[in-house]
Amino acid sequence: KAAMLVLLGLFPIVMLEAATFNMPIVCFEGGGGAPEFVGTDCGHVSPYLDVVDMAEAVIDLARDPNRRASIGQTAGSRVRERHSVDAAGPMLLDVIHSVSR
């Protein structure tokens, strides 16, 4: 059940997948793109390897279903707006065209 509450964003692809299911993300600073995705509104960014801070963030989200749902919705919207094929595909095609000239 805890996995349904929050995903510890340690691997960015898994984090993006979780966000598609409107899950808030809890990650460490320096976590390979996860903090940039999370920002200030898609979950919580803990100081690097501060497991106490991370545990507290997970517990806070577990105890507040309304906040968890709201943050999860924001994460879901962000992943669809920035990381879907529809959003990223045209940018990738532009890069391919520019380097192939």
**pLDDT tens per residue across span 2-29:** 444 444 544 578 888 999 999 999 999 9
Residue with more model confidence, 55 or 86: 55
If you search the block for the tokens 């349904």, which residue do you land on?
4
CA angle 60, 17, 36 (to 5 degrees): 65
pLDDT at 6: 47
**Residue 49 scores a pLDDT above 60:** yes
Task: Write the pLDDT tens digit of every residue in 53-80.
Answer: 999 999 999 999 999 999 999 999 999 9
79 or 32, which is more confident: 79
